[in-house]
Each structure stands twice: as structure tokens, then as C-alpha cells.
Amino acid sequence: MSTANPDYKWRPVPTNHFRYLRACMVCAVVLTLDEFTRKGCPNCHPVLDYTTGSDLAQMCTSPIYEGCISIDKPTESWIAKWLRLDKYVPGVYATKVVGDLPEDAMDYLNAENIEYIPRDGSENNLE
């Protein structure tokens, strides 16, 4: 999960698609469900491969999130560092994402030695 995703090209979300937006529960990037299922998450792919079907994309993303920030240069942004987004691709991110990551997704992350930090502000749900 790094910024080195050569297949990802960030494009702003058209304003008529706001109601279809979802946030990834792992990295908080905000995209439409269609984008998650067609291209996958730009930060979590291939660990969490949302392109294999819409089930994983629906379970690991949430339509309930707070705040949006646009980050152009994650490595230079203090807010990206504060929100732990500085190693991700440029894009639009939620400041909080509500939802519980499924056990299957947690297993995929653990297998790759990736520490999951909940994006809803409750870091006590790790166990």
C-alpha cells in the first residue's frame, strides 16, 4: 500500500455523483462504488482487490463519512501526515469513515503485515 500505483490517475469527482461516493475504511480515499469495483482502491490494491466483485468493495467502503480533504502532494502536506495519509496517492480523502472492516479484510491485511487503524476515530476497536 504505497503511492507507487502506476495505473492510478486521479480525476476529480463530477458534482452530479456526490450521492454515490463511498470512502475506503482502510485508507479513507473517496470514490464512487463504480470506481472501486472497476479500478480498485488506489492505495489498498492489490492487498484488498475490490475489482474481483462488488461484495468486497461494498463491505470495505462506507457511504457514511465525515469531511473531505483534497490532497495534491501527500508527502508535503501537514494534514496528510496528521491523518496518516502521507504515503498514499493524491486525491480526495474523508477525515472520518464510519463502519466496521470485515474479518476477511482484516485477515488480508494481517497476512501482508499491514496494521489496520480504524478511520472512525476509535482506535480501541483494534482487538
- 85 with 93: CB under 8 angstroms? yes
Read off the amino acid at residue 81.
Answer: K
CA distance 30 to 33: 9
- 94 with 9: CB under 8 angstroms? no
pLDDT exceeds 90 at position 124: no
Distance from the Cα of residue 59 to its chain's centroid = 12
* pLDDT digit string, tens, across residues 69-118: 999 899 999 999 999 999 999 999 999 999 999 998 999 999 999 888 88
Domain 15-113: CATH architecture, name and number where available: 2-Layer Sandwich (3.30)
* pLDDT digit string, tens, across residues 39-57: 899 998 888 888 887 788 9
- CA distances 59 to 95, 101, 111, Å, are 19, 7, 19
Domain coordinates in residue numbering, the chain: 15-113
pLDDT exceeds 60 at position 5: no
